[in-house]
Structure 1
Amino acid sequence: MLLPATSASLIRAVLAVLSGALAGAILLLAAPVAYAGGDGLVRQEVTFRGGDGLVLHGTVLGKAGAPGPGPGIVLVGGSGAGPREEYRQEAEAFARAGITTLVYDKRTIGYSRFHPDFRLLADDALAGVRLLRSSSGVNPRQVGLWGFSEGGWVAPLAASRSTDVAFVVTIGGSGYDPLRTQAWNLATHLRHRGAGGPFRRTVAGPTAQLLGATGLFPAAGYDPVPVLQQLHRTPVLALWGEHDTQVPPQESARIFRETLARAGNRHAVIRFVAGGAHNGHRTTDGFDRIGGPLFHGKKLGELPPGYAQTMASWVRAVATGHPPASSATPAPEQALATTPVPDHAWYAWLAPALLLLGFAAYPASALLRRGPVLRPVRWPAGLGLLAVVAAVACPLSVFAAGDGAAAPVVWGRPAAWLTVQGLAVAVVGSAGISAAALWRRRSSLSWAAWLRLAPVGLAAVGFVPWAVWWGVTA
């Protein structure tokens, strides 16, 4: 049945009103809701799209009743999953100082420890900057970045790609590539466990070269220096904990200072946090944390006196148009120096590969039943295969699982490494015994037999200098 025109118009008008009201309710529910806590801070849950369109979730914190538009800062976390709760103390400290702060959950799609895409993470950080620049109470020309650890690579990279970033603060940023940095980190923690210099040199030297040459270590060749050179106009505050045990603080501070000076940056401030660990929080020696909330069952440590105040006062000075002039405080002593990792160290993987082929050649030919089985040769061939695999796997496990893979440490060496050294002695000893036995039978051996023995013999001879270089004999 057809309705009169006036009735149809009335129904359409009512439906339009209801649709508008429903849409308004939906928008109201979807819009970020700000709520004030008892600590004088206002928090607003937000979502925004990262560099590749992935939806990221975060919290914007501000000081209740803060007068007028002020500075803002986006917190960029360290390696790993990085939920925002890990950086709650810093976020609240900035907000209490009148600096509106965005802290967000790090992406878990398109990023992992085995695939750290720094450019994608920098895009996420810049998306956060755009969000904060459009927030009420924030001066869009006074929004900067704070980067911790891995964020010490990401935040400068983001700033180098956008003029929207007004300043950069880093804590625990490394001046070296990730591979050299991780090698130093592991050597430092192995030293703390009681592992002696020889095994530490194997980890930081040949093993790191093997990882770099084979491409097994993610982002091994990322060099932060060219990025820092582009920050010639961006004010930078670079901080390290006095007891940083994860990046080399003394060497990194020197690289930051010298690189930014060469770039012509006149507002680069280098500071060290007294009593601070890698994350700037309280510690006794860099390996523990004092107080603070628990994160994944471990203490994060409290913010030490002066740490948050140093950052906040510096940001406020930049925001008022008076960025502090470049300066640097003396660096604390660094117990270990870093070990350079040569580019394209092809020998690091070729040598063990040839040894494995040489030791495997004899048992492979025996399986094919080509010629008589020479029993004395079985021992150096089998032990050689086992020794090379174990010698490579032992320090590689430290890179894969951390310094805990070296436990227990006996006589300054991981127990597993003592086993490797025992195998190395057995290889050399069995090779000598086999050589003597074959020499006594030399008249009865054909040229074909000698050809079968040549690979394992060459491998046994080559094993000695390789074992010395790899650190097995030390």
Structure 2
Amino acid sequence: MPRWLVILGIFVLLSGGKSAAQPAETKLDPNIYDNYLGTYELSSGELLVIGRSQRVLYFYEPSTGLARGLDHAPSSTPALKWFAGPSFQIFSPVQFEIEFIRKGGMIAGLVLLKPGVATQTAKKVPFYREEKVSFRSGDAILSGTLLIPSTKGPHPAVVCVHGSGEQDRNGFGSIIRFVADHFARHGIATLIYDKRGVGGSTGNWANQTLDDLATDALAGFRMLQNRSDINRKQIGLWGSSQAGWIMPKMAAQTNEIAFIISVSGAGAGISVGDQVLYNLEVDLHNAGFSPDEIAEWKQAYRLLYKIVQTGEGTDTSQLEELVRKLQQNPKLSDAIRVNWFLARSNPKIDWKKRDQWFFLYDPNFDALPLWRQYTGPVLGIFGELDGLAPVSEVVPIFAKILASRKNTDFTIAVFPKAHHILMEMETDTPNDNELPRLKRYVPGYFDTMSEWLSRHVTINIDNSQKTLKR
């Protein structure tokens, strides 16, 4: 049945010395730094979680939601002493330090040093085990990690589906890793994997269509179905952002997907083309563009859509003339998303370069009919201040579609003050420029997912309740 949620007492649901830049351009060696990842327990029982992206270690404190990127002083590899700044991707001034403890060549714990607070030591605790896995999808071999609860199987399971861009198994800002850690600690096996051409996977993510991405994720789903320690009838999907287009495409190919959790999902109420136009509008507004200037940019994008759909040989002179005019605006340097295509010095379309987003993704694609066909339960999570989707517009549409299905088991939660990545904003309007300054995940985000899952899957509790309820 549709559910109503009240989060933080606010009605949110419809029925149903360093710079702020990345601290290092060098990729972290997984053979060294994957050993740092996992859950650490303080003597107080409080947990700390270490994750990573391709280049940065990340720190997450489940009790407060605090999340920080970690920098380290130049030193020999492996680096043991790391520093956290005031926010997610700003590393100076230093607010606290972490020093990892090695024992027998492995990371066994960490020391947390916060100003004005007694030094705390946390030991690394195996709430789950990790298994390196690989699976074939077409001509590619995809590499990943399966986080398996320490309790007896077979376990319910989740396949984590990426958002857009070059992402490894841990995701942008370790977002996927933190979700997988949370699920595994709550008794749910979780598959995370590298996109094609990233980490240990072969191929090239940059030339994949949404259908290709769905095929890859579905291959991971099939791999889990063939494992004896996984309950093949309770395997579902978690995905964020672009995954909102990918997951319903997966569900259209099989009726075996047990559930779907969509976080800041694209395709929840508007087409691919309209989603891009919204991203563009928010970006230009925050860069100081006037309504008339924004309208001209949107006109240029609509012309682009029309030309691409008509095909090579179409007259592009009107688009080129408009783009040349728009490129003269000095405020353009403050806009991030227009640089996807139309802000380039040459406004001509390169028809031979087929890995451009407007070739790979059909602007007219609308995921709503596929969502309507899906027969399983759905949890849709949105941030009120998402700069990549018009949340107040799409949530009613998404809820109406889910309620129209034969199975009306869905829940939609909109978290107040939340950014696209479900971290808390300090501004009152959507603004992607705030991303580096975010400080913590919004209260209730992780627990909302695990509590919802506990009502939809069977979790084995044969070791200790404590293990599963962190």
- Give the whole-Å Cα distance in 2 for the aligned partners of 1:102 and 1:290: 30
Instruction: Work out whether residues 159 and 220 of structure 2, in 8 Å CA contact, stay in contact via their aligned partners in 1.
Output: yes
C-alpha distance after superposition, 1:78-115 (max 9, x if no partner): 111121222111111111111110011112477655x4
Distance in 2 between residues matched to 1:144 and 1:129, nearest whole Å? 8
Distance across 2 between alignment mates of 1:172 and 1:319: 23
**Aligned in 2, Cα 1:303/1:63: closer, same or farther, shift over 3 Å?**
farther
What residue is the counterpart of 2:306 in the other structure? 213
Report the Cα distance in structure 2 between the residues aligned to 1:135 and 1:300, rounded to whole angstroms.
Answer: 39
- Say whether 1:128 aligns with 2:272: no
Q: Distance in 2 between matches of 1:96 and 1:300?
A: 25
Match of 2:145 in 1: 59
Structure 2: which 5+ residue stretches go unaligned? 1-34, 40-123, 309-348, 350-357, 460-470
Give 1:304 deviation, angstroms.
2.5
Aligned to 1:77: 162
* Fraction of identical pairs, as percent: 32
3-state SS of paired residue (1:131):
helix
1:103 is the counterpart of 2:192: yes
How far apart are 1:288 and its partner, in Å? 5.9
Deviation at 1:142, TM superposition (A): 0.5
Sort the Cα spacing of 1:208 and 1:168 in 2 relative to 1 into closer, same or farther, 3 A: same
- Contact kept in structure 2, 1:71 and 1:316, CA below 8 Å: no
Q: Which amino acid aligns with 2:442?
A: P
> Take 1:299 and 1:123, find their aligned partners in 2: how far apart are those partners?
35
Q: Which residue is equivalent to 1:172?
A: 264
* 1:162-187 CA-partner distances (Å, limit 9, x unpaired): 12210111011122222210110111
**In 2: Cα distance, 1:316 partner to 1:249 partner:** 27
8 A Cα contact 2:387 2:432, kept in partner: no
Q: Give the drift of 1:300.
A: 7.8
Question: In structure 2, how many angstroms separate the alpha carbons of the residues matched to 1:81 and 1:299?
Answer: 22
Name the counterpart of 2:209.
Answer: 117
Task: Give the structure with the larger strand fraction.
Answer: 2
For 2:306 and 2:434, locate their aligned partners in 1 and report how far apart those are by CA, in whole Å. 40
Structure 2 residue matching 1:85: 3-state secondary structure: coil
Greater CA radius of gyration, 1 or 2? Answer: 1
Q: 1:208 is matched by which residue type in structure 2? A: Y
Please say if residues 242 and 277 of structure 1, whose CA atoms lie closer than 8 Å, have aligned partners that are also in contact.
yes
Q: Which whole-Å CA distance do the structure 2 matches of 1:277 and 1:36 have between them?
A: 25
Contact 2:146 2:190 in 1 (8 A): yes
1:377-409 per-position Cα deviation (integer Å, ceiling 9, x unaligned): xxxxxxxxxxxxxxxxxxxxxxxxxxxxxxxxx
The whole-number CA distance in structure 2 between the counterparts of 1:160 and 1:110 is 25
Residue 287 of structure 1 deviates from its aligned partner by: 3.4
Q: What is the CA RMSD across the aligned residues, in angstroms?
A: 2.6
Query: What is the distance in 2 between the residues matched to 1:95 and 1:46?
Result: 16
Aligned to 2:454: 316
2:276 maps to what in 1? 182
Q: Greater relative contact order (Cα 8 A, min sep 6): structure 1 or 2?
A: 2
What's the offset of the Cα at 1:290? 8.8
Q: Which has the higher helix share?
A: 1
Q: Relative to 1, partners in 2 of residues 1:178 and 1:112: Cα closer, same or farther, differing over 3 Å?
A: farther
Aligned to 2:456, the other structure's residue is in SS state helix
Q: Does 1:44 align with 2:187?
A: no
Please tell me whether the aligned partners of residues 145 and 167 of structure 1 are also in contact (alpha carbons under 8 angstroms).
Answer: yes
User: 2:143, 2:221 → 1: CA distance?
Assistant: 14
Q: Which amino acid aligns with 2:134?
A: T
Partner of 1:226: 369
Find the counterpart in structure 2 of residue 250 from structure 1. 392
**Counterpart contact for 1:282–1:290, Cα < 8 Å:** no
Tell me how far 1:301 sits from its aligned partner.
Answer: 5.7
Q: Partner of 2:261: helix, strand, or coil?
A: strand
Q: Give, in whole Å, the separation in 2 of the partners of 1:143 and 1:84.
A: 18
1:13-68 Cα deviation digits (max 9, x unpaired): xxxxxxxxxxxxxxxxxxxx9x9872323111111112x1310011111232x243
Whether the aligned pair in 2 keeps the contact of 1:185 and 1:245 (CA below 8 Å) is: yes
What amino acid does structure 2 have at the position aligned with 1:315? Answer: L
How many Å separate the matches in 1 of 2:178 and 2:282?
A: 27
Relative distance call for 1:265 and 1:55 in structure 2 (3 A) is: same
- Inter-partner Cα distance in structure 2 for 1:153 and 1:303: 24
Matches of 2:165 and 2:135, distance apart in 1: 20
Counterparts of 1:6-405 in structure 2, within 5 Å, are: 38-39=124-125, 40-50=127-137, 52-64=138-150, 66-86=151-171, 87-108=176-197, 112=205, 115-174=207-266, 175-204=269-298, 206-215=299-308, 217-218=358-359, 219=361, 220-231=363-374, 233-285=375-427, 286-287=430-431, 302-320=440-458
Give, in angstroms, the shift of residue 265 of structure 1. Answer: 3.1
How far is 1:116 from its partner? Answer: 4.3
Distance 1:36 1:274 in 2: 29
Check 1:289–1:235 CA distance in 2 against 1; reply closer, same or farther (3 A cut): farther
Partner Cα distance (1:67, 1:301) in 2? 36
Aligned residues: 277
